[in-house]
């Protein structure tokens, strides 16, 4: 799947209609969650059927206005959150008994009702809109009659056929309305072998250090714009509640945050592509960012570093270019000596690794990056080796079948169980 995004240009009146469509999408989702809680909806199919019930109900005239396939798309969203809850419960069965404890152990994502948010979206499948032949205009044709919008930034759309558009999502952000086109395409790119295997150790002093000792500086976009953000935040708190000035101030703050996140994403995306293009194998740490953020002294820096996004992009480009991206357990990677494997205890402020057992001296992060690469190669050979052994034993079993009678051992096993 590829997503193309374009900004929608229309009149204020049209935007209000889009708001109504987004609100209705949320209404459909929340109604289905409610029906699930009341045990009226028990499966995905029930959820689809419930869309019809909502549309026929005269108390909710707006439900009928939304395109029928869009209603289904929101039913899918509702059911996805229910399914996620079921999956989490299966993973830890005790949680099912106390599903409503927030943040506690029992919290396994019991479906919540969606609230109003500035960033929200409504999803259309293959009907309810019409894209013009020149791909510069889109017209929404469902009951909300939002009409025709001019699209900004559709150059990418020209490379694809209209049939390849599987979904269209209208996203509201604080700086306007966007249309996202989901295209059914498997992106594959050619890449020459470079002969380089790269282990990456992410950190706060440098964004990452690889096993060749190359360091990339942390851009710290949030820190750069922090003063501006703080000013906007102060201004927002000073405004009166429910006033027009508050709306304006909130919008300004939102835009500033949007800018930070866009710069961050752009930078991380380009870096990830560069890393993938210049190596044949990439090893990274399997970091639990959510747990690390709990350390309040480092939380802002960690969030600002956006390792998670970096990893997502690495994995995406890994698939596109056919480069394996291996995540390894991060424990002991910075402590153990790369040369001899002996643990060398360091604090966060010790920047160089010097081993007393073998006199190996290296930069702390470089040592970690090398360990990560080594572990990943070991992991890789283990999994490859194991599948081969499994195949071999499978063949052996077949041979045994011919020579001996397999019924006896299985019967014995059953008895012992
Ligand atoms: Zn050593």
Ligand 1 centroid to residue 361 C-alpha, Å: 8
149 and 230 assigned to the same domain:
no
Ligand 1 centroid to residue 194 C-alpha, Å: 29
Indicate whether 134 pLDDT > 50. Answer: yes
Ligand 1 centroid to residue 200 C-alpha, Å: 20
- Cα(217)–Cα(207) distance, integer angstroms: 5
160 and 270 assigned to the same domain:
no
pLDDT in tens, 154-175: 777 888 888 888 999 999 999 9
Indicate whether 403 pLDDT > 80. Answer: no
Q: 23 or 398: whose pLDDT is higher?
A: 23
229 and 161 assigned to the same domain:
no
Q: 382 or 390: whose pLDDT is higher?
A: 382
Indicate whether 135 pLDDT > 50. Answer: yes
Indicate whether 129 pLDDT > 70. Answer: yes
Q: Which residue has the tokens 């690390």?
A: 292
Ligand 1 centroid to residue 212 C-alpha, Å: 18
Bridge partners (DSSP) of residue 169 are 123, 180
144 and 194 assigned to the same domain:
no
pLDDT of residue 35: 93
Structural domain that includes position 159? 2-183
176 and 248 assigned to the same domain:
no
- Cα(191)–Cα(337) distance, integer angstroms: 34
16 and 87 assigned to the same domain:
yes
* Percent of the chain predicted with pLDDT > 70: 84
Q: What is the pTM (predicted TM-score) of this model?
A: 0.78
Q: 397 or 89: whose pLDDT is higher?
A: 89
Q: Which residue has the tokens 């699209």?
A: 151
Indicate whether 272 pLDDT > 90. Answer: yes
pLDDT in tens, 35-62: 999 999 899 999 999 999 998 988 998 8
pLDDT in tens, 81-97: 999 988 887 876 664 45
Ligand 1 centroid to residue 367 C-alpha, Å: 10
Indicate whether 394 pLDDT > 60. Answer: no
- Cα(320)–Cα(282) distance, integer angstroms: 14
pLDDT of residue 150: 93
Q: 302 or 11: whose pLDDT is higher?
A: 11
pLDDT of residue 120: 93
Question: How many domains does the chain fold into?
Answer: 2
Ligand 1 centroid to residue 358 C-alpha, Å: 4
Which token pair is 212? 């060749």
Ligand 1 centroid to residue 332 C-alpha, Å: 14
Ligand 1 centroid to residue 107 C-alpha, Å: 44
198 and 153 assigned to the same domain:
no
Q: Average pLDDT, whole number, for the chain? A: 83
Which token pair is 341? 């494997």
Ligand 1 centroid to residue 343 C-alpha, Å: 8
157 and 253 assigned to the same domain:
no
pLDDT band for position 105 (cuts 50, 70, 90): very low
Q: 211 or 299: whose pLDDT is higher?
A: 211
Nearest-CA neighbor of 333 among 198, 201, 210? 201
pLDDT of residue 306: 80
Indicate whether 308 pLDDT > 80. Answer: yes
Q: Kindly state whether residue 247 falls inside one of the protein's structural domains.
A: yes
pLDDT of residue 90: 80
Q: Kindly state whether residue 394 falls inside one of the protein's structural domains.
A: no
211 and 335 assigned to the same domain:
yes
Residue-by-residue DSSP string for 292-308: HTTSHHHHHHHHHHTHH
142 and 272 assigned to the same domain:
no
Indicate whether 273 pLDDT > 50. Answer: yes
- Mean pLDDT over 117-140 rounds to 90
Ligand 1 centroid to residue 302 C-alpha, Å: 30
Indicate whether 99 pLDDT > 60. Answer: no
CB 282 within 8 A of CB 323: yes
* Least-confidence region, from 229-233, 248-252, 359-363: 359-363
pLDDT of residue 260: 86
Q: Kindly state whether residue 84 falls inside one of the protein's structural domains.
A: yes
């Amino acid at each position: 799947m590829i997503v193309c995004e374009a900004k929608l240009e229309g009149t204020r009146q049209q935007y209000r209609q889009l708001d109504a469509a987004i609100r209705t999408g949320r209404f459909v989702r929340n109604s289905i969650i409610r029906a699930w809680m009341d045990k009226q909806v028990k499966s995905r199919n029930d959820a689809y059927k419930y869309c019809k019930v909502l549309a026929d109900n005269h108390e909710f005239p707006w439900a009928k206005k939304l395109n029928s396939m869009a209603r289904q798309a929101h039913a899918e969203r509702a059911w996805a959150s229910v399914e996620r809850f079921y999956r989490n419960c299966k993973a830890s069965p005790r949680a099912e008994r106390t599903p409503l404890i927030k943040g506690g152990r029992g919290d396994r994502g019991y479906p919540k009702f969606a609230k109003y948010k500035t960033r929200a979206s409504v999803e259309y499948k293959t009907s309810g809109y019409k894209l013009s032949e020149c791909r510069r205009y889109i017209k929404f044709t469902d009951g909300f009659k939002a009409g025709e919008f001019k699209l900004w930034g559709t150059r990418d759309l020209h490379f694809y056929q209209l049939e390849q558009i599987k979904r269209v999502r209208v996203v509201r952000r604080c700086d306007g309305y966007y249309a996202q086109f989901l295209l059914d395409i498997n992106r594959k790119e050619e890449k020459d072998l470079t002969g380089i295997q790269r282990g990456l150790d992410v950190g706060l002093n440098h964004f990452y250090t690889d096993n060749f000792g190359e360091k990339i500086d942390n851009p710290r976009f949030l820190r750069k714009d922090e003063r501006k953000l703080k000013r906007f935040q102060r201004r927002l708190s000073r405004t009166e509640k429910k006033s027009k000035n508050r709306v304006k101030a909130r919008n300004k703050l939102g835009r500033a945050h949007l800018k930070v996140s866009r710069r961050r994403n752009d930078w991380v995306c380009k870096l990830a592509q560069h890393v993938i293009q210049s190596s044949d194998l990439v090893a990274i740490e399997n970091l639990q960012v959510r747990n690390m953020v709990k350390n309040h002294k480092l939380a802002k820096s960690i969030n600002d570093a956006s390792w998670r996004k970096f990893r997502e992009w690495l994995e995406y480009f890994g698939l596109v270019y056919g480069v394996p991206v291996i995540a390894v357990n991060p424990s002991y990677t910075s402590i153990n000596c790369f040369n001899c494997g002996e643990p060398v205890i360091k604090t966060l402020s010790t920047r160089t690794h010097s081993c007393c057992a073998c006199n190996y001296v290296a930069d702390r992060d470089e040592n970690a990056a090398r360990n990560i690469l080594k572990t990943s190669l070991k992991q890789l050979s283990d999994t490859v080796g194991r599948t081969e052994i499994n195949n071999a034993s499978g063949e052996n079993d077949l041979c045994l079948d011919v020579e001996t009678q397999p019924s006896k051992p299985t019967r014995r096993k059953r008895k012992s169980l």
